[in-house]
Structure 1
Amino acid sequence: MARDRRPSLLRRASMRDGGVDVDGARIAEAMGELKHRGHATLKDRLHRLRSTAVLALQAGLAAALSWLIARDLLGNPQPVFAPIAAVGTLAASVGQRFRRTMELILGVGAGVAVGDLLVYLVGTGAWQLGVIVTLAILVTIFFGGSVAVVIQAAATAVLIVTLNPSAKTLEIPRFIDAMVGGGTALLVTALLLPLNPLRVINRAARPAMDLLADQLERTASALRDRDREAVQQALERLRDNKGELTDFVEAIEGAKETITISPARWHRRSELTHYAEAADPIDRAMRNSGTLIRRAVTLIEDDEAIPEPMPDAVDHLAESVRLLRHEFAVGEEPQRARERSLRAVSEAGRAYTEGVGFSGSVVVAQVRTTASDLLVASGVEQEEANRLIREAFGDSESAEQPAEHNTAPNPPTTPPLG
């Protein structure tokens, strides 16, 4: 009986509102979200795996080659530090590998100098180890060494103190291993397995630009629904963009390094220049979009008018960002992205004409400013971008007024570029 009763109890508990299984619908929706989240997580993991596959191959090849060079060509029977130095160089942020190699060599040199001198003066032992490591760190910091130099100096000093009694002239192979490992890593990066610089940048640009486009789309939808919480969530997500922007900037620096040291990639210099010049205006578009979204929150809180073209303008901005990323990735002139940016401004002009309040005028102004940033990112000169923005907005004369003139509800003149 108990076994037969349980299903009926569950059915009665879930049936509400005239026989509609409300609980079942909610549970199905929750399970769908969990399933989607699982797929998204797997997709993210596979994306990270593809992103690091070349780095893993570079590290493995550099470790094997540095071991062979140090052992078979230079006669070091146990060249442990050579592959460590090679992997340490490749583990540095892309774009800083040449610098990391120099830091390895400088750090090892400082550790050898301090360690040998103090071992000669005070001998070896526990307290001597502590003193030598402390002084090695202080000396490298005094001479302006970076964190990597300090770490290498301290690690080398430890080896000198602890292993020198049983391994004489340790400092020479240690120093050579540093040069072999770092040099081999650079060789692999430059000649044997050079990264495709544009692929690296495209991969890094996608999260940053998708983040911006996603939050603009959410803001547009929330403006239509007057959903203050949804706009606030978009604002908080956009504020948390340091990781995406950092990856993007580092990718550009890494591409510059690859093109500098890899002859096989020299023909990509002109394409890289376009991307490098786009980094700053994309960063500005991020910040100006943050202002736009923040004002959208206030607009809804103050129950201001939201003309229908205003959400459309924000939607066009989002689409412009997506088109810009796509056209960069496929090597096309970003004409569609430019057209969509100007369409956003045109819709903002219509919203302004229909009548907006204080925060609404700021949203309109930030649509103009963000569109200008995206035009500059696409390769348009700033002065030309400003002219196109004014023309698309529909008034080329009063747009030159300063921002403080645009503070009254339903102001009679067009807002400035921000």
Structure 2
Amino acid sequence: MSGKQPALSVRTRVRRRIRRRIDALPKPLSLRVRRLWLSAVPITQCAVAAGLAWWIAVVLLDHDRPFFAPIAAVVSLGLSLAKRWRRSVELVSGVTVGILAGDLVISWIGSGTWQIMVVIAIAMSIAVFLDEGPLLPMQAASSAALVATLLPPGDSAGIERAVDALIGGVVGILVVALMPVNPALRSTRDAAGVLGTIRDAATDLAAGLRAQDVDTVSDVLARARGTQGAINTMRADMAGGREISTISPLYWSSRQRLQRIAATADPIDNSVRNFRVVARRALAMTQAGEQLRPEIIEIIGDLSGAYEILREMMLAPPGGEPDEADAARVLRTIARKARTDLVTDSPMSETAILAQLRSLIVDLLMVAGLRRSSARATLRD
């Protein structure tokens, strides 16, 4: 690697200092403080959007108790970055469907127990017919129930509720555009967390295989299987980051970078899945008393360094080091070791592990920016 590392910004230095202090806390407290720290901006967005939506409905439109405006703003935002635009559209559409269906049906059949059943069934049926999302039917049902129980058919309060929902949804999107979460920061942090977990797991798996330690190998498999929640969060935040770069003018210039970050979601996920298969096969061999070839164990150990440089690459600032080329060089060195002639006379289990490792290396090369065809070509003997 060459060239100087770019100077860290004041914000980055402060963030790292805070992170170190959080990490220094007792682990149960550290996890909770970190969760709060990561949610600070979305919480602020929800609070600002709720207050602003209420103010618009009360002061500008003179609505009486527009409770649904702040509710709609909070629901459309939530703490998740993903699909905020879709949540806003679903919420406003659901409220509108529920009010219209409730208004029409209750005006015709009157109100009562069985009428509530009928109007909710009709509102939810229309919503399900229009869209497969879960939010739209729920909002349609709650709005229809409100019309059937509290709001007289044809009353202006029903229309005001739909307007309040629209206000909340629009305000939520505006807040995202003007007070956005850094879309790259959260995505790369998620990815780095997953890569760091498998980095440590690869180190332990190699050690467990050398020692023929069933407990260690079993623990590695359990840890690898436990990453799915973190992977799902990573995928959601990457999708949310791309959405923010579309909505917010502040991040329009970052669209290409966010597309590259989002493109790593599939290969990271696939590499973890392949690692789980390697760990599961390795556990079966260890339990059976079979010894894996030392050269293959060495490749597994080397993967720890590969995951680490990819983790550092994800956390590096734009233009910083290590970059994709640095990571690809490390991975090509490992790829040269993963030769098919290592298992020419090996049993099926050992051959299967090497094949899985080769597939995993292809995934990691794709995380480093290579196309699948180029990554596969790297492994040709």
Which TM class, normalised by the smaller chain length?
Answer: 0.7 to 0.9
**Residue in structure 2 matched with residue 204 of structure 1 by the alignment:** 190
State which drifts further: 364-373 or 342-351. 342-351
State which drifts further: 59-68 or 317-326. 317-326
Q: How does 1:371-390 map to 2 (within 5 A)?
A: 371-390=361-380
Aligned CA RMSD, in angstroms, stands at 2.5
Structure 1 pair 41–354 and aligned structure 2 pair: CA distance change class (3 A): farther
State which drifts further: 109-118 or 290-299. 290-299
The number of aligned residues is: 355
1:291 equivalenced with 2:277 (yes/no): yes
Deviation, 1:349, is 4.5
Per-residue deviation, residues 56-111 of structure 1 (Å, max 9, x unmatched): 00000000110111111111131110000000001174221111111111111111
* Equivalent position to 2:327, from 334, 337, 348: 337
1:162 equivalenced with 2:149 (yes/no): yes
Deviation, 1:38, is 8.4
Contact map agreement 1:160 1:170 (CA 8 A) in 2: no
Q: Distance in 1 between matches of 2:259 and 2:155?
A: 51
* Equivalent position to 2:71, from 70, 79, 84: 84
Q: Distance in 2 between matches of 1:154 and 1:60?
A: 26
**Residue in structure 2 matched with residue 237 of structure 1 by the alignment:** 223
Q: How does 1:91-110 map to 2 (within 5 A)?
A: 91=78, 93-110=80-97
Q: How does 1:328-407 map to 2 (within 5 A)?
A: 328-331=314-317, 332=321, 333-349=323-339, 352=342, 356-390=346-380, 396=381
Deviation, 1:367, is 2.2
1:117 equivalenced with 2:104 (yes/no): yes
Contact map agreement 1:328 1:334 (CA 8 A) in 2: no
Letter in 2 for 1:108: V
Q: How does 1:240-319 map to 2 (within 5 A)?
A: 240-319=226-305
- Structure 1: gaps (5+ residues): 1-35, 391-395, 397-418
Letter in 2 for 1:231: V
Q: Distance in 2 between matches of 1:302 and 1:336?
A: 39
Contact map agreement 1:305 1:355 (CA 8 A) in 2: no
State which drifts further: 105-114 or 232-241. 232-241
Contact map agreement 1:310 1:351 (CA 8 A) in 2: no
Structure 1 pair 143–372 and aligned structure 2 pair: CA distance change class (3 A): closer
Deviation, 1:128, is 2.4
Letter in 1 for 2:327: A
Contact map agreement 1:103 1:149 (CA 8 A) in 2: yes
Letter in 2 for 1:84: I
Contact map agreement 1:76 1:173 (CA 8 A) in 2: yes
Letter in 1 for 2:239: E
**Residue in structure 2 matched with residue 414 of structure 1 by the alignment:** none
Contact map agreement 1:54 1:195 (CA 8 A) in 2: yes
Q: Distance in 1 between matches of 2:200 and 2:30?
A: 18
Q: Distance in 2 between matches of 1:202 and 1:243?
A: 16
**Which of 1 and 2 has higher RCO (CA within 8 Å, sep 6+)?**
2
Q: Distance in 2 between matches of 1:363 and 1:259?
A: 40
- Structure 2: gaps (5+ residues): 1-22
Q: Distance in 1 between matches of 2:250 and 2:240?
A: 15
**Residue in structure 2 matched with residue 132 of structure 1 by the alignment:** 119
Larger Rg over CA atoms: 1
Please give the TM-score of this superposition, normalised by the length of structure 1: 0.79
Contact map agreement 2:24 2:30 (CA 8 A) in 1: no
Letter in 2 for 1:250: A
Contact map agreement 2:82 2:239 (CA 8 A) in 1: yes
**Residue in structure 2 matched with residue 31 of structure 1 by the alignment:** none
**Residue in structure 2 matched with residue 47 of structure 1 by the alignment:** 34
Deviation, 1:272, is 1.1
Structure 1 pair 326–260 and aligned structure 2 pair: CA distance change class (3 A): same
SS in 2 for 1:247: helix
Q: Distance in 2 between matches of 1:156 and 1:328?
A: 44
**Residue in structure 2 matched with residue 66 of structure 1 by the alignment:** 53
Q: Distance in 2 between matches of 1:303 and 1:226?
A: 8
Contact map agreement 2:106 2:148 (CA 8 A) in 1: yes
Per-residue deviation, residues 280-339 of structure 1 (Å, max 9, x unmatched): 111221121122112212322343333433332112112211211211211341344323
Q: Distance in 2 between matches of 1:290 and 1:66?
A: 47
Per-residue deviation, residues 246-287 of structure 1 (Å, max 9, x unmatched): 111111110110000111001111211211221111122112
Q: How does 1:188-199 map to 2 (within 5 A)?
A: 188-191=175-178, 193-199=179-185
Give aligned-pair identity as a percent. Answer: 32
Deviation, 1:245, is 1.5
SS in 2 for 1:164: coil
